[in-house]
Amino acid sequence: MARSCSSVGCRYDSTGLDEIQVVMHPRASLIDIFSTFLQFDADRLKGWVSDSQLRRSMQKCLEGSDKRETSANQFWVLYWYKIWESRLDRLARSHLVAYLQETGYWTAHKIVLSFHSSQYALSDYFQIAIAQVDKVLKGYNPQQGVRLNNYASAIFHSAIKETLRQRHEVDICTPWALLRKLSQKRLEEALAVSGLPAETIASYILAWSCFKAIYVPTQASGTRQLDTPDGETWKAIATCYNEHRQNLPPCQAADLEKWLLACVKAARAYLYPVRHSLNSTKPEQESEWVDELVAFEGESLLSQLIAQQEEQSRLLHHSQINQILTDAMAQLAPESQELLQLYYAQGLTQQQLAQKLEIKQYTVSRRLTKIRSTLLSTLAQWSAESLHISLTSEVLKSMSVVLDEWLNTHFQREE
């Protein structure tokens, strides 16, 4: 009898010898929940791996949000879902895939505990589940009051069970029963993937069509266990083939069994290909499969997307700051605008300005300081309201430098 300790995620089979799972630590912080992914080492859970770009994206969102309103997972689930729904945003989808990692894990874990399979491990069930994320997002409706993780759990569970059912069918069907269950489209795909020439595929498809037309099961049930056709049936199938072959090569009854068994082999390989570890040795060679992988030297698509968004955001903020300061300049008194013109555009020193305007040098300094203070106050207020920036002394010092650069650029451009 199997014994389990679900709190630490482990279970043993009836012999008590095979441990099939180790600890899965739930994520605690919002940043981790929306930016980390489960990692497996072969069939065993290895832990969480963080995506730096998603982490940075989530950090930026949290820094610009009201923590009292956005401290719950559900807020961010709906936030990213609405963004994904409005424009099929890939960044939002990635955040939701990260969020659904634990749901996929626990759904797979439940299947492992209730169904023994020699073909699939926990990591396989998890991958089958996570592959359904797009189906989950398309079918989810927040207005129905169901949480996304609960809805996803149902979809994940259904997908895993359907895969097991199909796998079971392929395993227990005889070749002749499987041929009757295949669709022509699926068989054509399987033969094409196997690399056969087009003429051979056409011959096999015609032979398969004749087989389905002539070899009709007489059993009321048990169609998964069809026997090999008898000699008379093979002759009838061969006759049917030769009558419809047109430009295809002729065949004898002895050829048909070989052809149709080749179809079965291709279909099984296509439907459920054998998995090989990337570290396994290639047949009759000393090298491993992983040696042929091309190193990925560029940034991921997600990295490019975030970088593009950041660049767009930077350009937008630059444009907004330019407009804010231009408007603030227009509100200054004409004397103040003239003073800035002489100072920044013509490059006069405060002493030269004092002589030109026939006022004291300290008066020039005081007026320049007051004007800059007015512009800096306008910029700081806009930054706090629009960019949600906390106005610390260090931030104001940085803004003052930005303002000086903008004034120099602005008046040099006017010149």
Place of tokens 């030769």: 242
What's the start-to-end Cα distance of the chain, in Å? 88
In this prediction, residue 411 carries a pLDDT of 80
148-172 vs 122-130: helix crossing angle, rounded to 10: 120
Answer whether 0.85 is exceeded by the pTM. no
With a CB cutoff of 8 Å and minimum separation 6, the contacts of 125 are: 107, 108, 111, 112, 160
Interatomic CA distance for residues 320 and 331, integer angstroms: 17
Whether 164 contacts 117, CB under 8 Å: yes
Choice between 333 and 111, residue whose per-residue pLDDT is larger: 333
Say what percent of the chain tops pLDDT 90. 23
Q: Is the pLDDT of residue 302 over 80?
A: no
* Residue among 216, 274, 280, 203 nearest 244 (CA): 203
Amino acid at 52: S
Whether 53 contacts 38, CB under 8 Å: no
- 125-139, 330-344, 393-407, range with the lowest pLDDT: 393-407
DSSP state letters, 163-215: HHHHHHHHHHS-HHHHHHH--HHHHHHHHHHTT--HHHHHHHHHHHHHHHHH-
Interatomic CA distance for residues 353 and 137, integer angstroms: 66
Interatomic CA distance for residues 319 and 91, integer angstroms: 25
pLDDT digits (tens, 9 = 90+) for 61-120: 888 776 655 667 888 999 999 999 887 788 999 999 999 999 999 998 888 776 665 567
pLDDT digits (tens, 9 = 90+) for 42-56: 667 888 999 988 999
